[in-house]
Amino acid sequence: MPRLEIRRIDILQDVIEEESYDFVVARALLHHLMPARKALERMVSALKPGGVLLSVEPDMLPCTVAEPDSMHRFWEGRLRWSVEAGIDYFVGRKIPVWLDSLGLEDVAGEGHTAQFNGGSDWATYWIETVRELAPSLLKSSYVSEKMLEEFHTRYQDPHYWTSVITFTANWGRKPA
C-alpha cells in the first residue's frame, strides 16, 4: 500500500525535493507570502510528472462593493491596510494564470462566496478577526473607531446581510 506523506515546510526557504510529490495543497497560505508566485513556482517544481497542485485562496472582490457606504469604507480601509501589511487578498484570481504560465495542464478553478447575516457563524468569524486586527487597523489610520463600531453593530444585526470574500480553489496537473 502506498504511504501517504504529509509534510509542512517553509515554502520560500526550506529545501524542497523536486519532482517528489503526487499532490501539493496550499490553503490560505499564498496571500500571506511575498512573493506568492515564487512560492507557487516552488510547489510546482515539487510535483512529480502527472502530479496535481490545489490552491485555495481568497479573493475579496465582494467586499469592494459592500453596502451601505459605511461598510464599503470600512472594507476599503482594511484592504489599504492589508497592502501595507504585505497581504494580497486578491491572489486567488491570479493563480490560474500563474499555473498556466508554469506549464501545468488542465488548469481550472472555481469560487464560493458565502452570503451571511449578522450574528451568524461567518459574522462571528469576521468580528473575531477584526477584533484581533483592530490595533493595527487603527494605527494605520485607514480604519477609525467609528468605523469599527459600525462594523460590530452591523455584524451583530441578524437583518444585515452581506458577502465579503470568495474562496477560490484553483488546480492544475504537471505534464506526465
**pLDDT tens column, 62-74:** 999 999 999 999 9
Rg of the chain taking only CA atoms, in angstroms = 19
Mean pLDDT over 116-132 rounds to: 98
Higher pLDDT, 142 or 15: 142
Lowest mean pLDDT among 15-19, 45-49, 83-87, 159-163: 15-19
Calculate the alpha carbon distances from 105 to 65, 80, 97 in Å. 34, 35, 12
User: Rounded to two decimals, what is the model's pTM?
Assistant: 0.86
| Domain boundaries along the sequence of the chain | 21-173
pLDDT at 16: 82
- Name the H helices within 85-176: 95-101, 121-140, 145-156
